[in-house]
């Protein structure tokens, strides 16, 4: 049985230095508030999360964070906010992490490393980074009184981890400190510094918010998703049925039966796009029962699919589609097909290939036509 961990996130500050008109924890960063980012990173390690909200914002916080999170009213200082949250920690938690909503991007991995160190027997564990600037102590007239050796200095971050009893005892004093380790140190407890991380930066000013945004953007550009889709239709017995394939009209070809224009290439691509973005499939998006889509052209469906994947935060890197069948012969119109499909998707590169199946199966027997498509998408944090 692993020891349970409570996470306290003080978010009761007003964020004066950031200068937004709302509390800092409610400021948006790539589509989510800072407090939502902080909770999302800590949730995987926490049995209990307690957030101290600015007075008057409790309900808004509760709605935003859901019923799993305990929201309490913050105090006049960070120390008081932590103290108020501490009163709500369940006794079953062996360890308590004290974090900051302002360090919204501190990672789950960092929290895990703090907890690992507690489990190894430390009573107080704090993340820190070596400092790059020389730090000087000055007196009230700004004269230097001391220059500590830089290599021995660390810039301290959160989440800071403590054995529950150690933290509760330390907070029983009335001191006001900028971090909780300060209280614990004063009581003679050994405080261990482990390596922090750049992304745990404290968001204080607008330029910090921009730096934080860059972390999310560079992460999201790595979030690529692949999808797959297929479709098949039988050639129609009705010789007047026209053939649409790959966004093109094919004169002198008999079309396929189907609810829409029967463009298997376009349909397979739509499915691949939905598959990559986790938005379901062709049927769940353009149900056969919806009259809006009966008779819809392949190009219209592609344009609609594009809109839906973009609305879900994705952009399309490229699409590939292979048409399987004896006819029509794709080769002479390959470039034209590629252009038509690409145009329907707002200019995304679409490669078109074709194959027969050596006389095998319904395509080889000339009874129908099918297509298989793949799509590569990138998720963009907004």
Q: Which does 15 bind (CB under 5 to 8 A by kind): Mg ion, ligand CTP, none?
A: ligand CTP
User: In the window 52-111, what residues touch ligand CTP (CB under 6 A)?
Assistant: 52, 74-78, 81, 100-102
Nearest residue (CB) to ligand CTP, 106 versus 302: 106
Which does residue 25 bind out of ligand CTP, Mg ion, none, counting CB within 5 to 8 angstroms by kind?
A: ligand CTP
Cβ-based nearer residue to ligand CTP, 105 or 345:
105
Nearest distance from C-beta of residue 28 to ligand CTP, angstroms: 15
Minimum CB–partner distance for residue 73 and Mg ion (Å): 17
Q: How far is the CB of 12 from ligand CTP (least distance, A)?
A: 3
x-marked contacts with ligand CTP along 11-30 as a string, rule CB under 6 A: xxxxxxxx-----xx-----
The CB-of-107 to ligand CTP minimum distance in angstroms stands at: 17
Contact (Cβ atoms closer than 8 angstroms) between residue 172 and residue 87: no
Give the ranges where the chain is alpha helix by DSSP (H): 34-42, 58-65, 78-86, 108-119, 164-170, 180-186, 206-220, 264-277, 282-285, 298-311, 334-344, 361-364
Tokens (6 digits) for 106: 């501190």
- Binds 101: which of Mg ion, ligand CTP, none (CB < 5-8 Å by kind): ligand CTP
How far apart CA 321 and CA 140 sit, in angstroms, is: 72
Question: Minimum Å distance from CB 43 to Mg ion?
Answer: 25
User: DSSP letter at 26?
Assistant: G
Q: Which is nearer to ligand CTP, 74 or 262 (CB)?
A: 74
Size of the site for ligand CTP (CB under 6 A): 23
By CB under 5 A, the residues from 9 to 38 that bind Mg ion are 13
Task: Report d(CA 237, CA 327) in Å as an integer.
Answer: 15
Quickly list DSSP for 75-106.
-SSHHHHHHHHHTT--TTEEEEEE--TTSTT-
Of residues 101 and 216, the one with the C-beta less far from ligand CTP:
101
Structure tokens at 140: 């009230």
Partner from Mg ion, ligand CTP, none binding residue 11, C-beta < 5-8 Å depending on class: ligand CTP
Q: How far apart are CA 222 and CA 379, in angstroms?
A: 8
For residue 219, cis peptide bond before it (omega within 30 degrees of 0): no
**Residue with the shortest CB distance to Mg ion:** 13
Of 76 and 335, the one with the shorter C-beta distance to Mg ion is 76
> One symbol per residue from 199 to 218: x for binding ligand CTP (CB under 6 A), - otherwise; what is it?
---x-x--------------
Site of tokens 């704090």: 126
Residues binding Mg ion: number (CB under 5 A): 1
**Nearest residue (CB) to ligand CTP, 206 versus 312:** 206
Q: In the stretch 320-359, what mask flags binding to Mg ion with x, by CB under 5 A?
A: ----------------------------------------
CA distance 44 to 67: 16
Return the structure tokens found at 215. 């972390």
Among ligand CTP, Mg ion, none, what does residue 139 contact (CB within 5–8 Å per kind)? none
Nearer to Mg ion by C-beta: 78 or 113?
Answer: 78
Spatial CA neighbour of 70 closest among 91, 87, 48? 48
Angle at 331 between CA 233 and CA 253, to 5 degrees: 45
Give the binding range for ligand CTP (CB under 6 A) out of 4-12, 111-119, 162-170, 221-229.
Answer: 4-12
**Phi, psi values for residue 344, rounded to 5°:** -65, -25
The count of C-alpha atoms lying within 13 angstroms of the C-alpha of 242, restricted to the half-sphere facing its C-beta, is 10
Distance in Å, CB of 204 to ligand CTP, minimum:
6
Distance CA 82, CA 88 (A): 10
Q: Which residue has the tokens 């507690």?
A: 118
Give pairs for 253-257: CB < 8 Å, separation 24+: 253/327, 253/328, 256/368, 256/369, 257/233
- Which x/- pattern, by CB under 6 A, does the window 145-184 give for ligand CTP? ----------------------------------------
Interface residues with ligand CTP (CB under 6 A) are: 10-18, 24-25, 52, 74-78, 81, 100-102, 202, 204
């Amino acid at each position: 049985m692993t020891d349970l961990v409570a996470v306290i996130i003080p978010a009761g500050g007003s964020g004066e230095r950031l200068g937004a008109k709302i509390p800092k924890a409610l400021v948006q960063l790539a589509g989510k508030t800072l407090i939502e980012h902080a909770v999302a990173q800590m949730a995987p390690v926490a049995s209990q999360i307690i957030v101290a909200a600015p007075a008057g914002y409790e309900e808004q916080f509760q709605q935003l964070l859901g019923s799993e999170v305990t929201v309490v009213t913050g105090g006049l200082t960070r120390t008081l906010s932590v103290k108020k949250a501490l009163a709500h920690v369940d006794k079953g938690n062996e360890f308590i992490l004290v974090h900051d909503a302002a360090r919204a991007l501190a990672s789950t991995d960092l929290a895990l490393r703090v907890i690992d160190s507690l489990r190894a027997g430390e009573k107080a564990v704090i993340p820190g980074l070596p400092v790059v600037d020389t730090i000087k102590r000055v007196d009230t007239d700004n004269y230097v009184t001391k220059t500590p050796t830089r290599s021995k200095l660390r810039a301290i971050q959160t989440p800071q981890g403590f054995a529950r009893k150690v933290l509760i005892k330390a907070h029983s004093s009335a001191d006001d400190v900028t971090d909780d380790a300060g209280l614990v140190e004063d009581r003679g407890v050994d405080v261990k510094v482990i390596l922090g991380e750049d992304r745990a930066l404290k968001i204080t000013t607008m330029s910090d918010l921009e730096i934080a945004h860059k972390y999310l953007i560079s992460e999201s550009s790595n979030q690529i998703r692949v999808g797959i889709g297929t479709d098949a239709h039988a050639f129609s017995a009705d010789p007047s049925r026209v053939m649409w394939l790959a966004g093109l009209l094919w004169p002198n070809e008999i079309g396929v039966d189907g609810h829409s224009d029967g463009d298997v290439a376009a349909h397979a691509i739509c499915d691949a796009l939905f598959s990559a973005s986790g938005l379901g499939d062709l049927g769940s998006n353009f149900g056969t029962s919806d009259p809006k889509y009966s008779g819809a052209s392949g190009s219209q469906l592609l344009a609609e699919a594009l809109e839906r994947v973009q609305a879900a935060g994705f952009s399309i890197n490229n699409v590939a589609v292979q048409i399987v069948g004896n006819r029509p012969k794709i080769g002479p119109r390959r470039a034209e097909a590629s252009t038509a499909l690409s145009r329907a998707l707002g200019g995304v590169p679409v490669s078109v290939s074709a194959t027969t199946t050596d006389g095998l199966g319904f395509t080889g027997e000339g009874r129908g036509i099918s297509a298989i498509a793949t799509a590569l998408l990138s998720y963009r944090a907004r």
